[in-house]
A and B are shown apart, each in its own frame.
With several copies, the nearest count.
Chain A
């Protein structure tokens, strides 16, 4: 499979383009529409966090996204130059409290619910986030 890679300015209006890159890769890898959407959602959440929480202000840096495919899985790698942050620890996903539902913290929940693996490394002043999604077995 083709390796797709692109660099985006850290602006929220770039999320749509990032999603498009993910969608094209997922389609090429034969992911069904639901799995493709799940990947777009997770990569969008990670990117939004880098822009909002990492860089703090829009347009201050870049996000590099690359997608590689192997056998029945897709690997998404996101790199940024914002301060170190490790999102690889799974948030405690508690039972929904209907009377006091959570207003924040959904981004990391979504990231971990969707992805089969979430890895983090800090290398040469960059955050390296690796997200792996295996193709659902019963792909329609």
Chain B
């Protein structure tokens, strides 16, 4: 898994490449935490290049959503890969995360 972080004025975009499973989810969580601790309320997860997303990754996403909502923020997903869409739908979380076809549409939504 690779993580790339891009900080804009009002939104941070975290781009993940590869597998998000129990072996890697903690690293993603650490990155997200640092962004939130930095005061960022709007987060976009670009999951276009994620080819595996297990419950460990979903758990990080749900936790992030809960944390951000408490401060009036939100996390959404940009250009999810087919497999990310599958994982979200199998886990019944597809309605929880706003999903945008492109990064720019996600950014423009905030």
Contact = CB atoms under 8 A, between A and B. Distances in A.
The answer to whether any beta carbons of A and B sit under 8 Å apart in the complex is: yes
Interface stretch (A41-49, A81-89, A116-124): A41-49
A1 B102 CA distance: 42
B89 to A, nearest CB: 9
A15 interface: yes
A108 B37 CA distance: 32
B86 A106 contact: no
From DSSP, what is the main secondary structure of chain B's interface residues? helix
Interface residues of A, number: 30
Contacts, number: 76
Given A15-B22, A101-B66, A48 B54 contact: yes
Nearest to A94: B92
A109 B91 contact: yes
A4 B31 CA distance: 38
B54 A45 contact: yes
A34 B90 CA distance: 11
Contacts of A38: 86, 90
B90 A114 contact: yes
A37 B55 contact: no
A105 to B, nearest CB: 8
Interface residues of B, number: 24
B108 interface: no
B91 A110 contact: yes
B62 A16 contact: no
Given A93-B92, A96-B92, A96-B93, A106 B22 contact: no
A96 B22 contact: no
A113 B21 contact: no
Contact of A110 (B23, B55, B63): B55
B95 A96 contact: yes
Contacts of B56: 48
A12 interface: yes
Contact of A12 (B22, B55, B65, B87): B22
A125 interface: no
Contacts of B100: none
Interface in B57-95: 58-59, 62-63, 65-66, 82-83, 86-87, 90-93, 95
A13 B92 CA distance: 26
Interface of B: 19, 21-23, 52, 54-56, 58-59, 62-63, 65-66, 82-83, 86-87, 90-93, 95-96
